[in-house]
Structure 1
């Protein structure tokens, strides 16, 4: 596993600072990170080393970079929330959530597990890290210009700061080496990523500020 440390500043919210420490391997990654804003502080821990040995012989896109678990905690003045989201070896999703305090937000947790039966990835809201799994699994940042293809995916999207988990339909498309077009629910952005498939620039959301 190769260690990588990253930092981003929010573009939609300049007060938001995101940091991540990742361990990258051939078939996935683990990591932890934080997001600090004027409104709340958030911490997360991710295990995206899930594999499906039946998907292929190990050389194709089906085998690795699948979510196994995501843990998220949010703290603010007068309220807090926590979530543990798990995808098991059979591909079933489950979650444990708790809330404290009086902030009016959607209920935390996963309320329709069956809606995620075909999802392989989690997507933590406002966090640039979780784009890496589909980009790496499908080798999208490595595809040369002139070979674009749409990859349609279902995600377990974690809303921030409520920590509600819902299904999200997303499309990734290779544009050129290091550039990937992302679309979801009428929104789209062309992501710039580094050689590890980690976001450098997510227009409208975040831009890398570390030296990597």
Structure 2
């Protein structure tokens, strides 16, 4: 996928005396768009990743093994989000501070940075505001005439406003003539032109890369 890869591992036990036909399948969900000590560019892809990877684990299969480079930053961000998303579904409550305080009593430095702690809230806000937007193909046909549902989703979309720092290049005075209306490319996904020295803004164009199914387009 665009932001993660799924690997299927076949594990068999072999010894010197005989073949053992026992086989176990292990599915590895590898998120590839999450920098160490950093946070995801946007909450939607990581929210989608957590939902899909968590749903892929059957109830009788035991707990998911989660890991990153150190096991305290991205790993615990995933665990906290997965646990609180389930808590929201079952109890309709959110208490990030209490949950973080509890797990930090078990191990130090869980969720390493302030940015990661803020990102937790951003993802949870996105989950609560947008609710479930993944649909089966047959459900699209059923919903196309259900205007209240579509209207609410459209309102959620148009209410989103990027922070000034995310559209810094687009808002520069020298680049204003290149913009089309009020649609600005954000820094993390805008198309960068080859810069020329001494000419401010020459690497800017009002264009941005779109997320495809398995690559940027």
TM-score by length of structure 2 reads: 0.31
TM-score by length of structure 1 reads: 0.31
Answer 1 or 2: which has greater helix percent: 2
Q: Which has the larger radius of gyration?
A: 2
